Structure 1
Amino acid sequence: MMRALRPDRMVYAMRWFIEQKLGSKYVHARSVEYEKSHEETSSVVAVFFILSPGVDPTRDVERVGKKVGFSSDRKNFHNVSLGQGQEIVAERAMETGSKLGHWVILQNIHLVTKWLPTLDKRMEAAQSKPHPDFRLFISAEPAADPAFHAIPQGVLESSIKITNERPAGMQANIHKALDNFSQDTLEMCSKEAEFKAILFSLCYFHAVVAERRKFGPQGWNRKYPFNVGDLTISVNVLFNYLENNNTVPWEDLRYLFGEIMYGGHITDDRDRRLCRTYLQEYMCPDLLEGDLYYCPGFQAPPNTDYPGYHKYIDAMLPPESPILYGLHPNAEYNFLTTQAATLFNTIFELQPREGGGEAGETISKEDKVKGVLDEIYDKLGESFQVHEMMAKTEDRSPFTIVAFQECERMNILTNEMKRSLKELSLGLKGELTITSDMEILQESLYVDKVPEAWANKAYPSNLGLAAWFVDQQLRQKELEVWTGDFILPATIWLGGLFNPQSFLTAIEQTTARRNEWPLDKMCLQFDVTKRIREEFSSAPREGAYLSMLYMEGARWDIMLGSIVESKPKELYPLLPVIHARAILVDKADLRSVYECPAYKTKLRGPTFVWYFNLKSKQKPAKWILAGVGILLGV
């Protein structure tokens, strides 16, 4: 009942159920201090750190090492970050450490998979007759898939495995960030007030970028390994710049933090823009004047001592909410719903593959697969006769070329579907030997999952097989209407195209040919109309009408003609039809405009399509932090 009525509360309900039935220790994870784990180490037992995003165990090892007399300054602590050419350095460090009783830490061994068998042998040799003080520490990220596991069994069996999850929630993350410093750190700069204020702002920024990943693609388009090292190095840079400048060099600091320290991890342009925007909001003169609010209800703290900052966080930080990150509260609903769906999909995949029917009947896996197979095969449409269509029409406008390309892509997909379904049908009848590809297809049909062979030739989609096939049929019908007379439809379902970028480019090409404008001096202007798809009967004289577009993180207000806040629980409001037309770049009006990224699916990231310039009565930073985007399909 809870899953049906409130899927966003499902995770909380399950946590409560587990706590009631099994005990609180199964839901409240507490990290063990490394000092306690270190007591179990010895010269013949290595420590293997399984890395989690945002967690860096190196500092814990260095801290414990200093207490017992091991550090880089004393030249008895060797820290080797594995990468190209570092294997020899690591081998020498292990050999030296084993003989002289040094500490050795080898970071990121997953980056040198070819060297790992050698590491296994070197570890065995180093631990055969080591110095009693010798300690070996290893770190690696877990493989994304079991097929990519590369760590030798010997390395794992001879090590103590330790992993620490990053702290959950904004409050825990800010405290954790601040824990990397001390009262001495706060007092080390001659510009103490400025240094303290910016250091706290860096801690808040670090907590935001680290914890924002929990909101999935709306948080960050891609996953990034932000860690404590980024924060501590940024503070060192801050100290040096404040000491060497009479005034605070805001622009320089924002560039160093946003483009190098943290930005060095970022590979997506939209994410880079988000990182820059956070720094523009948190690193500005208002911070020193006491007028800065990190989020509604949480003002930058006054000048105080180290314990005072921790107390201020506990007393003043609002309860955990997407608002702390600049996101709309709907982001949490979306995140929790997705989390619950993933949980139940995992449970479903673990279930036995034979199901009982009603009235004592049993539906076997094979019978169910046959039913799905026959239904899809019977409904698949005929292939487009592209060569015949090209012979019948003399029109070779950019729009017509796009239509031909879409037909060819649809043919590739439907032909693959027909071929693989026919093979599986013959295999189930015993007329062909069942191959591994057939088994994969059979399993996909059974669990309502789009087969990988089809997905590779299709368009990005998050749908299950049944919904995906309905969507594919709609796309084919749209193409049939368009290619019937090759007259541009009244509105274009942009998300129904394999390559929507090619259609948007065709708008520019058509206008460029008509007006003899240079293509590289043009851009698209997007005007949001006040009408829906059904109210249009013909295409515009210039450009095209785009329909079936959705917003995430905000909505469009027809009366105001602007982006506004989303309504509660309205996750993907439908946009009115948008008129896209090409204009010269120097005539584009960019005042009061938000460059809204458009994506093919909710996964965002690699599915980026185009920037839609939408009118906004609020500054663009608000919508950037809120992760506002246009989705071509939900």
Structure 2
Amino acid sequence: MNDLNKINPMYQFSLKAFSVVFQRAVKKAKPEEEVRQRVLNLTDSITFSVFQYTTRGLFECDKLMFVTQLVFQVLRMNNEINPAELDFLLRCPIQPGVTSPVDYLSNQAWGGIKSLCCMEAFRNLDQDVESTPNRWKRMVESECPERERLPMEWKSKTSLQKLCIMRVLRPDRMSNAIRNFVEEKLGSKYTMGRSLDFASSFEESDSATPMFFILSPGVDPLKDVEEHGKKLGFTLDNKNLHNVSLGQGQEIVAEQALEVAAKNGHWVILQNIHLVARWLKTLEKLVEQHAEQSHENFRVFFSAEPSATPETHIIPHGILENSIKVTNEPPTGMNANLHKALDNFSQVSLEACTQENEFKSIWFALCYFHAVVAGRSKFGPQGWNRPYPFNIGDLTISVNVLQNYLEANRKVPYEDLRYLFGEIMYGGHITDDWDRRLCCSYLEEFIKPEMMEGKVFLAPKFPLPGNMQYEGYHKYIDDNLPGESPYLYGLHPNAEIGFLTQTSEKLFSTVLEMQPRDEAVGEEGGMTREEKVCAVMEEITGRLPDQFNMSELFAKAQERSPYEVVALQECERMNFLIREIRSSLRELSLGLKGELTMTSDMESLQNALFLDAVPDGWTKLAYPSTLSLALWFSDLLTRISQLEAWSVSFCLPPVVWLSGFFNPQSFLTAIMQDIARRNKLPLDSMRLQCEVTKRNLEHFSSPPREGAYIHGLFMEGAQWDTQKGIIVPAGMKELTSPMPVMYIKAVPASKQDTKDVYRCPVYKTHQRGPTYVWTFDLKSKEKPSTWTIAGVALILQV
């Protein structure tokens, strides 16, 4: 996947502007001996001014991408960076098939160390870690490893080399490590958060320079416009401030407001311009026209939501280029979100209901619930399978419904209220069944009769407060709410590690795509881009096996049992993928030799191979995967090996690698079909039953009489206790834990064991959502809602 294309076009414009201006400035240093001093001067003057201009209107996470690319450009021009080390930092290749010899490092981290050892500067790193594990363990398990000194002689390594080591040992801390690196090389001014007030930004605007507010959830920047307008005498009452919310035919009103304002020196606020796509070209022309001949006090303020993808971007570049882009960060953390939820009410609101105690208790629980569902999205798919636009309107309407129900009922209708909040008010946004279950689970824990007895805890060590005055609730939050952690959302601390790791991966993959394409990579910068692509092509074509002979396989499979049908389908799909890989690489090889004209598809393939990403053309015929190309190809060969072994005699393997299927649902369905046929039972009355064994893969030599043994699943959000046979909380820093071999069989629905179980969803990848496979019932002593809120799921590929 091309991460650079994921950047919103509003941000892409800033990126392009930055790159162009920076490169032009550097090229002004014509004599070679002046380059070094020129770059140093740029660092202190032009670079920072360009950086400030081009990053205005960016969120802090996107700003970090730009400043990271900036520091690498400066160091490259100053010959202070090793291309091979930078390439490793951005790619972090993992050597597959290795086992970590130390318990505090995952196999993936050890694979990264083994890859790092291929460079001369890191020779014997693996031996040092293995021979002195305790010295490295302190740094790996530190809360702030980026501030720790590396053991032994490794502490004398350069800053970039230390980043490479940190990249493989603690990828979740790389955002912090990069900030420290930027501060060291360029100064703290590049990493300090912007806290410019609206008045300062307004001073830079004029009648020809509008202000463009990029909206973010939970933030209303136009309040700043109205408050500053009051100070300068521009208000709705004075009729010199025109506020137009676009949509539903308001374009004519907006045009009239612009004409009057340009003539008389008024202010015009045009909200949500992204809702009137067809009118935007007209708006661009009007703004350009009024900029030439208008009153000096004339000001225009736009607001729009950023588009989800580059394809849906509609804001004309003319508007973006000529505007001052401003973004206000949304509130972050439970404390800020909870205070913001309470800010929508007052003492009068709390006294509006006759059942005061009940109303205040449920009201505060609703505010906490709103802060949870809004803040949980930062944890990615483990938070919500899909993103949802929860907003303050959902909360205020829910509180109105609460008041009406309490006034109409002497006894609190807890179940009715939970249904209205979870299925209608908030549930109206939710499109995924598992997310709906999560939403309702929160409400079952927060809103129940026990809340009136002081027995409800909204988070660990944070009980529901009693009857207070309005300001008392704000003080209660400040005095009693624990520090920010996933526990406040019912999640395990590992969820934050996973979120931070994904953030750093996105940072580096985006910066990698911004690197110059003509620069050599590899050890000592010895390989050009084209040479690296050719090496990858040669590696893949040399190891890719031939296609399956489907004629022979169909002749072997005479019975066409459910399992044989699955095997044949998987072999056919694998043939399509193998054929596409081989033919696309052959075309690209001819194109690079000049024997074929390079097409856009061939260029995309070349770019993907260089970036160690799975090409889009292969992804369309393959299975969902989040692996890099090297690991993906290794995984592909393992899948082919399983099919080759299975297709020899079509006998079911002793233990089936469920993760190795294109369509794992088809194999699970085949289990039900096979048992239904054997026992002459209707298929629609059958259900799968899952039993987790206490044995590992090597202990099985034959398949079961009915059903199948499966392996290759990992648990995220918790772990399986093999001895107790139940789900238990995950170990610290163990983001996913492997499951033992599982026995899957089919039983009539009436005989299915549903007591003390957690209905655990199974997904193909940690992206969850559309990769859903099945639901396995796993034994648990905890309430199912505990694991639902913790986002516990089984993952087929990690």
1:621: Cα distance to partner? Answer: 0.6
Partner of 1:276: 440
The structure-2 alpha-carbon separation of the partners of 1:105 and 1:578, relative to structure 1 and needing over 3 Å to count, comes to farther
Q: Does 1:490 align with 2:651?
A: no
What SS class does the counterpart of residue 341 from structure 1 fall into? helix
1:418: Cα distance to partner? Answer: 0.4
Partner of 2:177: 13
Q: Distance in 1 between matches of 2:655 and 2:626?
A: 24
More off after superposition, 128-137 vs 449-458: 128-137
The structure-2 alpha-carbon separation of the partners of 1:357 and 1:225, relative to structure 1 and needing over 3 Å to count, comes to closer
Q: Distance in 1 between matches of 2:662 and 2:522?
A: 39
**Which residues in structure 2 correspond to 1:426-445 (within 5 Å)?**
426-445=590-609
Q: Distance in 2 between matches of 1:24 and 1:253?
A: 51
Partner of 2:530: 366
Contact 1:98–1:130 (CA<8 Å) still a contact in 2? no
1:34: Cα distance to partner? Answer: 6.1
Q: Does 1:266 align with 2:266?
A: no
Q: 1:517 aligns with which of 681, 688, 699?
A: 681
1:18: Cα distance to partner? Answer: 5.0
The structure-2 alpha-carbon separation of the partners of 1:103 and 1:545, relative to structure 1 and needing over 3 Å to count, comes to farther
The structure-2 alpha-carbon separation of the partners of 1:34 and 1:150, relative to structure 1 and needing over 3 Å to count, comes to same
The structure-2 alpha-carbon separation of the partners of 1:31 and 1:581, relative to structure 1 and needing over 3 Å to count, comes to farther
1:593: Cα distance to partner? Answer: 0.8
**Which residues in structure 2 correspond to 1:262-411 (within 5 Å)?**
262-353=426-517, 354-355=519-520, 362-411=526-575
Deviations along 1:190-229, whole A, 9 cap, x unmatched?
Answer: 3333222222222211211111111111111111222222
What SS class does the counterpart of residue 573 from structure 1 fall into? strand
Deviations along 1:493-521, whole A, 9 cap, x unmatched?
Answer: 11100001111111112222222322222
What SS class does the counterpart of residue 390 from structure 2 fall into? coil
Q: Distance in 2 between matches of 1:131 and 1:272?
A: 53
Q: Distance in 2 between matches of 1:403 and 1:293?
A: 51
Partner of 1:227: 391
The structure-2 alpha-carbon separation of the partners of 1:284 and 1:36, relative to structure 1 and needing over 3 Å to count, comes to farther
Partner of 1:206: 370
More off after superposition, 550-559 vs 151-160: 151-160
Partner of 1:250: 414
What SS class does the counterpart of residue 684 from structure 2 fall into? helix
Q: Distance in 2 between matches of 1:113 and 1:51?
A: 17
One-letter amino acid of the counterpart of residue 477, structure 1: S
Partner of 2:51: none
Q: Distance in 2 between matches of 1:291 and 1:110?
A: 47
The structure-2 alpha-carbon separation of the partners of 1:350 and 1:210, relative to structure 1 and needing over 3 Å to count, comes to same
1:104: Cα distance to partner? Answer: 7.5
Q: 1:578 aligns with which of 742, 752, 763?
A: 742
Q: Distance in 1 between matches of 2:470 and 2:210?
A: 36
Partner of 1:449: 613
Q: Distance in 2 between matches of 1:500 and 1:532?
A: 21
Q: Does 1:197 align with 2:358?
A: no
1:49: Cα distance to partner? Answer: 2.7
Q: Distance in 1 between matches of 2:394 and 2:294?
A: 35
1:458: Cα distance to partner? Answer: 0.6
**Which residues in structure 2 correspond to 1:445-484 (within 5 Å)?**
445-484=609-648
Contact 1:282–1:294 (CA<8 Å) still a contact in 2? yes
Contact 2:707–2:745 (CA<8 Å) still a contact in 1? yes
Partner of 1:415: 579
Q: 1:55 aligns with which of 211, 216, 219?
A: 219
**Which residues in structure 2 correspond to 1:168-179 (within 5 Å)?**
168-179=332-343
1:50: Cα distance to partner? Answer: 1.2
1:51: Cα distance to partner? Answer: 1.9
Deviations along 1:61-91, whole A, 9 cap, x unmatched?
Answer: 788899989789x9x9866464xxx2x2443
More off after superposition, 310-319 vs 3-12: 3-12
Contact 1:552–1:630 (CA<8 Å) still a contact in 2? yes
More off after superposition, 418-427 vs 186-195: 186-195
**Which residues in structure 2 correspond to 1:55-94 (within 5 Å)?**
55-57=219-221, 80=245, 82=247, 86=248, 88-92=249-253, 94=255
Identical columns (%):
58
One-letter amino acid of the counterpart of residue 91, structure 1: I
Contact 2:245–2:271 (CA<8 Å) still a contact in 1? yes
1:409: Cα distance to partner? Answer: 0.7
1:414: Cα distance to partner? Answer: 0.5
Contact 1:103–1:136 (CA<8 Å) still a contact in 2? yes
Q: Distance in 2 between matches of 1:28 and 1:197?
A: 40
The structure-2 alpha-carbon separation of the partners of 1:425 and 1:91, relative to structure 1 and needing over 3 Å to count, comes to same
The structure-2 alpha-carbon separation of the partners of 1:556 and 1:46, relative to structure 1 and needing over 3 Å to count, comes to same
Q: Does 1:588 align with 2:749?
A: no
What SS class does the counterpart of residue 596 from structure 2 fall into? coil
Q: Distance in 1 between matches of 2:188 and 2:529?
A: 40
More off after superposition, 174-183 vs 463-472: 174-183
1:463: Cα distance to partner? Answer: 0.8
Partner of 1:95: 256
More off after superposition, 290-299 vs 7-16: 7-16
Q: Distance in 1 between matches of 2:355 and 2:192?
A: 41
Alignment TM-score, normalising by the size of structure 1: 0.90
More off after superposition, 419-428 vs 235-244: 235-244
Q: Distance in 1 between matches of 2:441 and 2:525?
A: 61
Give 5+ residue unaligned stretches, structure 2: 1-164
The structure-2 alpha-carbon separation of the partners of 1:47 and 1:180, relative to structure 1 and needing over 3 Å to count, comes to farther
1:284: Cα distance to partner? Answer: 1.6
The structure-2 alpha-carbon separation of the partners of 1:31 and 1:244, relative to structure 1 and needing over 3 Å to count, comes to farther
1:103: Cα distance to partner? Answer: 8.7
Contact 2:242–2:257 (CA<8 Å) still a contact in 1? no
What SS class does the counterpart of residue 431 from structure 2 fall into? coil
Contact 1:43–1:135 (CA<8 Å) still a contact in 2? yes
What SS class does the counterpart of residue 345 from structure 2 fall into? coil
Partner of 1:166: 330
Q: 1:424 aligns with which of 588, 600, 611?
A: 588
1:346: Cα distance to partner? Answer: 2.6
Contact 1:423–1:438 (CA<8 Å) still a contact in 2? yes
1:381: Cα distance to partner? Answer: 0.8
Partner of 1:541: 705
What SS class does the counterpart of residue 258 from structure 1 fall into? helix
Contact 2:244–2:253 (CA<8 Å) still a contact in 1? no
Q: Distance in 2 between matches of 1:356 and 1:323?
A: 43
Q: Distance in 2 between matches of 1:489 and 1:8?
A: 38
What SS class does the counterpart of residue 648 from structure 2 fall into? helix
More off after superposition, 238-247 vs 114-123: 114-123
Cα RMSD between the aligned structures?
Answer: 3.2
What SS class does the counterpart of residue 485 from structure 1 fall into? coil
The structure-2 alpha-carbon separation of the partners of 1:159 and 1:435, relative to structure 1 and needing over 3 Å to count, comes to closer
Q: Distance in 1 between matches of 2:299 and 2:408?
A: 40
1:439: Cα distance to partner? Answer: 1.4
Deviations along 1:167-209, whole A, 9 cap, x unmatched?
Answer: 2221122122222222232233333332222222222112111
Q: Distance in 1 between matches of 2:301 and 2:399?
A: 27
Contact 2:246–2:276 (CA<8 Å) still a contact in 1? no
Q: Distance in 1 between matches of 2:194 and 2:417?
A: 35
Deviations along 1:450-474, whole A, 9 cap, x unmatched?
Answer: 1111111111111111111010000
What SS class does the counterpart of residue 551 from structure 1 fall into? strand
The structure-2 alpha-carbon separation of the partners of 1:611 and 1:104, relative to structure 1 and needing over 3 Å to count, comes to farther
What SS class does the counterpart of residue 466 from structure 1 fall into? helix
Contact 2:763–2:771 (CA<8 Å) still a contact in 1? yes
The structure-2 alpha-carbon separation of the partners of 1:246 and 1:48, relative to structure 1 and needing over 3 Å to count, comes to farther
More off after superposition, 141-150 vs 314-323: 141-150
